[in-house]
């Protein structure tokens, strides 16, 4: 499963939802099931009744069996996943596929495994646990020395002190 976004809000009175995603525009198709995390580490399948692209990062969607504002509100803020077979991504270019990769810093060696990735307005950030605490690192060309997709390792040159913040 690939986390592609989240339910950002509701729309209207018929249970429509706003899906905020991190993929290229035009990826969504009616036959693609969306998996929503209702409880920790569970992916419940939902099927599209209809959808409309609002902008490059947002779809207005209608899910089967979600037909009231109350049902829609219960999904707001939940993470959305799709099976990797439905999206055309390359590990070399898509940080979404880097979840689970080991991070190795030039100076410190192996520092942890990427638990999640987030896209901000200007860059991708990776979340990892370092010395018992969650830290965010920039996943930008300036810090990435090499990506070994086969071994699932990202070799980086992280700024001094970043992991200590």
Same structural domain, 136 and 61: no
Same domain for 8 and 79?
A: yes
**What is the distance between the alpha carbons of residues 42 and 88, in angstroms, rounded to a whole number?**
24
Q: How many CB atoms lie within 10 A of CB 99?
A: 17
- pTM over the 0.75 mark: no
At residue 162, the pLDDT reads: 86
Residues of the chain with pLDDT > 90, as a percent, come to 54
* 42-69 tens-digit pLDDT: 899 999 999 999 998 899 999 999 999 9
Q: Would you state the pLDDT for residue 7?
A: 93
pLDDT, residue 106, reads: 93
Asked if residue 107 and residue 81 are part of one domain, the reply reads no
Question: What is the number of domains present in the chain?
Answer: 2
Tokens linked to 55: 């902008």
120 CB-near residues (< 8 Å, 6+ apart): none
67 and 11 in a common domain: yes
Instruction: Name the burial class of residue 50, with classes exposed (0-12), middle (13-18) and buried (19+) by CB atoms within 10 angstroms of its CB.
Output: exposed
Tokens representing residue 21 in the block: 């995603």
Q: Compute how many other C-beta atoms are within 10 angstroms of the C-beta atom of residue 47.
A: 12
11 and 79 share a domain? Answer: yes
115 and 128 Cβ atoms separated by less than 8 Å? yes
User: What is the CATH number for 8?
Assistant: 2.40.30.60
pLDDT digits (tens, 9 = 90+) for 108-145: 999 999 988 887 778 889 999 998 889 999 999 899 99
pLDDT given for residue 90 in this prediction: 67
The pLDDT value recorded for residue 144 is 92
pLDDT given for residue 3 in this prediction: 85
pLDDT band at 85 (very low <50, low <70, confident <90, very high): confident
Question: Residue range 90-97: average pLDDT?
Answer: 74
Closest CA to 32 of 69, 76, 2: 2
Domain co-membership, 34 together with 67: yes
């Amino acid at each position: 499963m690939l986390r592609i976004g989240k339910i950002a809000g509701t729309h209207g009175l018929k249970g429509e939802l706003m899906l905020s995603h991190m993929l290229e525009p035009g990826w969504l198709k009616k036959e693609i099931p969306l998996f929503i995390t209702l409880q920790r580490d569970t992916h419940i399948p939902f099927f599209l009744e209809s959808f409309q692209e609002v902008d490059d990062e947002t779809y207005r969607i209608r899910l089967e069996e979600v037909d009231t504002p109350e049902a829609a509100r219960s999904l707001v803020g939940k993470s959305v996943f799709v099976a990797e077979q439905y999206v055309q991504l390359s590990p070399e270019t898509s940080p979404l596929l880097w979840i689970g990769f080991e991070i190795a810093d030039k100076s410190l060696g192996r520092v942890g495994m990427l638990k999640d990735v987030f896209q901000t307005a200007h860059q991708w950030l990776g979340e990892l646990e370092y010395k018992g605490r969650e830290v965010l690192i920039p996943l930008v060309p300036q810090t990435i020395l090499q990506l070994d997709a086969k071994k699932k390792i990202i070799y980086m040159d992280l700024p001094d002190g970043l992991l200590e913040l």
